[in-house]
Amino acid sequence: MKRKAAILSSLQFFARLRWLDGRPLLDTMQPYRREIFHKTFDTFRPDGSPQYNMVVTGRGKKNDKTSDLVLAALYTTVARRRSVQGNDALILASDEDQAGDDLSLARKLVKVNPELHAEFEILAKELRLRDGSGSIRILPAKDVAGMHGKQAGLIGYDEIHTQRSWDLLEALQPDPTRADCLQWITSYDTIYNTPGVPLHDLKAIGKAGSDERMLFSWYSGDLCTDPAFAELPPEQRANPSMKSWAEGAAYLEQQKRRLPSNKYRRLHLNLPGAPAGAFLDQANVLAAIVTGRRSLPPSPEKRCQAFVDMSGGSSDDAVLCIAHAEGRVAVIDLVEKQIGSPPFNPRSAVARFAGLLKDYNIHTVTGDAYAGETFKRDFEDHGVSYRPSPLNKTELYEAFEPALNAGEVELPDIPKLQEQLLTLVVKGARIDAEKNGHDDYANGTAGAAWLVREKPPMIITAAMVTQIMRMPRHTFADTCRAGRMRSTPRY
């Protein structure tokens, strides 16, 4: 594809527009934003095609993310009007409210700029070029069903931090015959910061620099791609538009006092967040994870215990968790699920778990009373005793939280476990996974941590009675004080 001359460069186009308050648009646009537009729209490869076909940009709240996306749509539709495939711009917002706000901003910009108003017809749900060559549509993400194969010149995503899978982005992949199509993704950091989640994966590509067609622009408390901001304090790194705020840094101090810490971190430091009503503190969960440790091997020196969260096999995973105590610290040695994904045969999971338990020299597993006696008998068929937990799921999580907050839990580096712990929410009197979520890894981990931190009561056996009767009184007292009396634990 040979480059066709644009009517105007991006900055030339914006120089002719005014912001909502009547000021020249470029006067309101900080240098870092101008640089993003210049690189995106005004740099080209040797064959004349755009250098970048994807923009991934993130920064804190009130830093013009949505404004830039709407401006990119206006430029694409008006100034890049050169494709026989049309000049449509499609923006997907996180929900109805976000879509309404984005559309309202686009309408206001058109109305305050006579040149744009002459170009566009303002309709209920879109801005349409009067000559019929293109339009700007802004929709909530849930309304994109059936839009596969759209040939838009710009496909924008406003706030995809709630997206847990690639389904939306895959449904709207650009037509491969359109070399000038641009995907523009702008968002706070994701709630679900694990592999397989779009923002997590895109950030990893951006940090690695492995995609020359992606422009990665990220401003957060722990990562900044802009050298002009990279060495500044976290609040300034995440908020490059701060100087334009009337209240300046005082606004962040106010938000820090008013918001829960997990929300402040996500909204204003652009760090991975947690859903509304999250039960566990994000920072404490992340601090408990031993980076790079997937599991610990069996050892005869460790006295391990196990908790299992079984499943019927249709939708949830069955998960086994093995742990041991080092003083008051619960160290999670192993978290494993059945082979494969649901649906699966739960009895195959029992056989797998029984083998793992024997590797760790564990002959008793604790779990809930799911399915009555079914799994109890299945485990016993493999030589493993199954004990029902005296605590329900909510009680296990309530016992887990103070241990986590005290730094008395070591967790393996398993993305799914991290996600489930961070997305546990309070639902009235219950603690559970969020809607359409899962907590099998989290439940097994909380159960195993509780087991090894609880001091099991001593059970006096007949052999112990005989041992006691044969001891001189002073020897018995010394043995008890030294803690050398052998006992059979309850679990």
Stretch (H or E) spanning 453: helix 440-453
Per-residue confidence (pLDDT) for residue 432, from 0 to 100: 94
Per-residue confidence (pLDDT) for residue 446, from 0 to 100: 97
Domain segments of the chain as ranges: 10-267, 287-453, 457-491
pTM above 0.75, yes or no: no
Q: Which of 217-226, 321-330, 413-422, 459-468 is predicted with the least confidence, judged by mean pLDDT?
A: 459-468
Q: Quote the tokens at residue 159.
A: 């706030």
pLDDT: which is higher, 454 or 321: 321
Count CB atoms within 10 A of the CB of residue 111: 13
Please check the confidence at residue 12 and state whether its pLDDT lies above 90. yes
Stretch (H or E) spanning 184: strand 182-186
Please check the confidence at residue 370 and state whether its pLDDT lies above 80. no
The model's confidence at residue 458, banded by pLDDT at 50, 70 and 90, is: very low
* β-sheet bridge partners, residue 250: none
Contact at 8 Å (CB) between 422 and 280? yes
- Whole-angstrom Cα distance, residue 310 to residue 386? 12
Annotation: CATH topology of 287-453: Nucleotidyltransferase; domain 5 (3.30.420)
The model's confidence at residue 296, banded by pLDDT at 50, 70 and 90, is: very high
Cα dist from 54 to 48, 206, 369, whole Å: 16, 11, 50
pLDDT: which is higher, 152 or 459: 152
Tell me: the pLDDT tens digits for 469-487?
Answer: 666 665 555 555 444 444 3
Q: Which of 138-147, 206-215, 323-332, 341-350 is predicted with the least confidence, judged by mean pLDDT?
A: 138-147
Residues 6+ apart with CB under 8 A from 452: 304, 305, 323, 324, 325, 330, 331
Q: What is the mean pLDDT of the chain?
A: 87
Percent helix, strand, coil in the chain, to 5, is: 40, 20, 45
Per-residue confidence (pLDDT) for residue 43, from 0 to 100: 95
Please check the confidence at residue 407 and state whether its pLDDT lies above 70. yes
Tell me: the pLDDT tens digits for 122-178?
Answer: 998 899 999 988 999 998 877 655 555 467 899 999 988 878 889 888 888 887 777
Per-residue confidence (pLDDT) for residue 174, from 0 to 100: 85
User: What's the distance, CA 79 to chain centroid?
Assistant: 36
Residue 22's region, left for phi above 0, alpha for psi from -120 to 50, else beta, is left
Please check the confidence at residue 372 and state whether its pLDDT lies above 80. no
- Spatial strand order in the sheet of 135-140: 120-122, 126-129, 135-140, 89-93, 154-158, 182-186, 54-58, 214-218
CATH number assigned to the domain covering 10-267: 3.40.50.300
Residues 6+ apart with CB under 8 A from 323: 304, 305, 306, 307, 330, 331, 332, 333, 445, 448, 449, 451, 452
Contact at 8 Å (CB) between 55 and 182? yes
- DSSP single-letter state for residue 219: B
Tell me: the pLDDT tens digits for 302-318?
Answer: 999 999 999 888 888 99
Tell me: the pLDDT tens digits for 429-452?
Answer: 999 998 878 899 999 999 999 999
Cα dist from 408 to 107, 288, 291, whole Å: 54, 8, 16
Tell me: the pLDDT tens digits for 171-220?
Answer: 888 877 777 889 999 998 987 877 888 998 999 999 999 999 999 999 99
- Whole-angstrom Cα distance, residue 51 to residue 412? 41
